[in-house]
Chain A
Amino acid sequence: MESKETKLDDTQQVTTKSPSGFSIIWREIVRDKIALVSLILLVLITGFVYGISLFLNQEEIVTVDLFAIHEPPGEDFLLGTDYGGRDIFGQLIIGTRNSLSIGILVTLMTGVIGVLYGLVSGYFGGTIDNIMMRIVDFFLILPFLMVVIVFVAIVPKYSVLSFSLIMTTFLWMGIARLIRSKALQEKELDYAQASKTLGSSNLKIMLTQVLPNLSSLIIVTMTLNLAANIGLESGLSFLGFGFPESTPSLGTLLSYARNPQTLEYRWWIWVPAAILILVLMLSVNNVGQALKRATDARQRRG
């Protein structure tokens, strides 16, 4: 082990080519044992959940079975059943899949909107920037949770899609502000100015020159946002304003614990979901933190 380490260092000194972005990220994650474990856990959970859910029938799992209400874990039901006699294990798998999917969907949508918005605002600057940022400021002062809940309650024909759209509407500002401040710096740099002098269109500079330079920042922010979004979704579902009950989510399982009886005596209903959310959020956060260090040479460990 020791000799291998020194060998690695030697080769690093010999090579003159700077390491690529991905190899830096990889080295950072391998060096940070917690992040490595998190990444492995994350891959395992995601693979397991999406894999198993292919063999599970959501309709069948959410069907009420009055003969099997509140069964404790046993042979028939691996993790027992809830108040409707529905299998907790199946709900857990499908719920994790749903929570992950919506987390990823919302993160991608807020990412696209936020990045484009921030890019335009920061790149053009001046009055455009001023107006666009005032709009962001206004969204930021809204009491997020309450506004989302109100919209969830009043939207007619509520569905998973409208839920993710509502979440996106009130979540894109953070990344927009971040990208805007970076774009503001980036456009003053020589490469952007030179490109402008050569006659490149604003669109080309923004999308093909400034944007790639912000990619690492975007990846880091979106990873950290993913963790936050999974938490938000499960929180809203917990309160009863997320997924409809026919679509299980980790938050729905936890919401059964609002019944004191369930909280006190039927741990199998809510404890697995709680642990799963914690593990998911911790892992995504840890990977995100490792990515963050990888993008900042001063903080790197590897």
Chain B
Amino acid sequence: MWKFIVRRLFITLPQVLLLSVLIFLMAQMMPGDALSGLIDPNIDPAAIEKQRETLGLNNPWYIQYTDWITGALQGDLGQSFRYKMPVTELVEQRLINTFWLSVATLIITYIIAIPLGITSGRYNDSWADQLITGYTYIGFATPLFIFALVMLWVFGYQLGWFPTSGSVAPGLTPGSFDYVLSKIQHLLLPAISMALITTVNTVQYLRSEIIDTKQKDFIITARAKGASESRVYNRHILRNSLLPIAAFFGFEITGLIGGTVFVENIFGYPGMGDLFIQSILLRDYSVVTTVVLLFGIASILGALISDIILSLVDPRIRIK
């Protein structure tokens, strides 16, 4: 067990390293550098050149990379030239917002997926199953951004049940009950929109998993021994079918990353995805690199978590 985890960790490190190199090279390809945003255009070019030299911008790329990565490891990710503040400070609040949005989305995803998956797996080919399968078909084909737009239109504008942008109503003291309530209210619509689309895969997977398990020998044995139908389902089938779902948890995180870019953009939710799009448009590249790096690491960790859960659940994959 531990052997597998250690080995899996050994694969993760080079992945992170490669990711950082790629992001660094991407940053190098971006037009302009930290200086072109920082400096008054009237300054003598020779002085700029001198400044470049002292900042190490004329060094070969591998030395610059080492500088950047050591800085990043110490929590120094550079300055945002647009907001004139350290990137780490800028990212902090956004990261917290996105974190809560993701948590809410994950919770809603499972709240929807588990009952629907169980119903359609247990009573497969019934009308309820057909209804749920129809939903998964449509959900699978619907792009998230269109669905989010429609949700915003219907529930945000037409019905007015939810706020249409921001992460909290202005003028509330942080920490108060109203503040938390307002946060949740702002979070709910984006999270529901994202969950309704992303949950589809889990529903489909759970359904086929239950149908598969239903026909296994040990279920027939359990029935033959006289176990009640509810016991067969709750203890024997469900346990076996839910475990692989648990393993997908990590991949859900990877899926959320693309989702947050769209959803935060549409709902004007000030999170990392929103920050990413804005910084790209403003050509604020130190922020862009940081966001991509953080999201890249998050998806690597997501895959890691999934593999570890999977190895706990299914001993067969531990071997290699």
- Say whether A150 contacts B26, CB under 8 Å: yes
Among the listed stretches B166-174, B212-220, B227-235, B294-302, which one makes contact with chain A, having 4 or more residues with CB under 8 Å of it?
B294-302
Binary per-residue interface labels of chain B (135-150) against chain A in the complex, 1 for a CB within 8 Å, 0 otherwise: 0011011111110011
**A257–B18 Cα gap in the complex (Å)?**
38
When the two chains form their complex, are residues B141 and A278 in contact, meaning their CB atoms are under 8 A apart? yes
**A154 touches which one: B26, B141, B145, B262 (CB < 8 A)?**
B26
Q: Would you call B146 and A141 a contact (CB within 8 A)? A: no
B 241-287 contacts with A by CB, 8 A = 254, 257-258, 261-262, 265-266, 276-277, 280-281, 283
Contact among B138, B149, B257, B277 with A263 in the assembled complex (CB-CB below 8 Å): B149
A241 vs B265: C-alpha distance in the bound complex, in angstroms?
Answer: 13
Chain A residues whose CB sits within 8 angstroms of the CB of B77 once the complex forms: none
In chain B, residues 171-202, which have Cβ atoms closer than 8 Å to a Cβ of chain A?
none
Partner of A285, one of B30, B137, B150: B137
Known: A149-B280, A258-B265. Contact between A227 and B29, CB under 8 A? no
Partner of A141, one of B19, B150, B157, B281: B19
Whether B138 lies near A282 (C-beta < 8 A) is: yes
Say yes or no: B296 contacts A142, CB within 8 Å: yes
B152 on the A face (CB < 8 A): yes
- Whether B300 lies near A238 (C-beta < 8 A) is no
Residue of B nearest to A142 (CB): B296
Among the listed B142, B152, B276, B277, which residue makes an inter-chain contact with A278, where contact means beta carbons less than 8 Å apart? B142
Contact digits for A119-151, partner B, Cβ 8 Å, 1 yes 0 no: 000000000000000000110011111110111
B31 within 8 Å of A (CB atoms): yes
A123 to chain B, nearest CB (A): 21
Tell me the dominant secondary structure on chain A's binding face: helix
Per-residue B-contact encoding for A203-242, CB less than 8 Å = 1, 0 else = 0000000000000000000000001000100110011110
**How distant is the Cα of A260 from the Cα of B15 in the complex, in angstroms?**
41
Which of B's residues lie within 8 Å of A, judged by CB? 15, 18-19, 22, 26, 29-31, 137-138, 140-146, 149-150, 152-153, 157-158, 164, 254, 257-258, 261-262, 265-266, 276-277, 280-281, 283, 288, 291-292, 295-296, 299-300, 303
Cα A156 to Cα B30 in complex, Å, equals 10
Q: Which residues of B contact A274 (CB under 8 A)?
A: 146, 149-150
A277 within 8 A of partner (CB): yes
What 1/0 mask marks residues of chain A from 239 to 279 whose CB sits below 8 Å from any chain B CB?
A: 11100000000000010011010011000001000100110
Closest residue on chain A to residue B30 by CB atoms: A154
Asked if A92 is at the interface (CB within 8 A of a chain B CB), the reply is no
Residue in B141, B157, B254, B258 whose Cβ sees the most chain A Cβ within 10 Å: B141
- Within the complex, what minimum Cβ distance (angstroms) separates A242 from chain B? 12
> Complex Cα distance A150/B284, Å?
12
Given contacts A260-B157, A264-B157, contact A141 B296 (CB under 8 A): yes
Would you call B145 and A147 a contact (CB within 8 A)?
A: no
Given contacts A146-B276, A238-B262, A263-B149, 9 further A-B contacts (CB under 8 A): A141-B300, A144-B258, A146-B257, A149-B280, A151-B26, A154-B31, A239-B261, A257-B149, A264-B153
User: Bound complex: CA of A264 vs CA of B149, how far in Å?
Assistant: 11
Between B137, B149, B277, B296, the greatest number of chain A beta carbons within 10 A of the residue's beta carbon is seen for: B149
How many angstroms from the CA of A274 to the CA of B145 in the assembled complex?
10
Which A residues are in CB contact (< 8 Å) with B262? 235, 238-239
Interface residues of A (CB under 8 A from B): 137-138, 141-147, 149-151, 153-154, 156, 227, 231, 234-235, 238-241, 254, 257-258, 260, 263-264, 270, 274, 277-278, 281-282, 285-286, 289
Chain A residues whose CB sits within 8 angstroms of the CB of B152 once the complex forms: 263
The 5 closest A-B pairs by CB, nearest first: A231-B143, A145-B258, A281-B141, A282-B141, A143-B295
A227, B295: Cβ atoms under 8 Å?
no
Name the distance in Å between B276's Cβ and chain A's nearest Cβ. 6
- State how many angstroms separate the Cβ of B5 from the closest Cβ of chain A: 18
Q: Select one of A150, A231, A258, A282 contacting B280, CB under 8 A.
A: A150
Residue among B137, B145, B258 with max Cβ neighbours from chain A (10 Å): B145
What distance in Å separates the Cβ of B208 from its nearest Cβ neighbour in chain A? 12
Q: Which residue of B lies closest to A143 (CB)?
A: B295
Quote the shortest CB–CB distance from A284 to chain B (angstroms): 8
Nearest opposing residue in chain B for A238, CB measure: B145
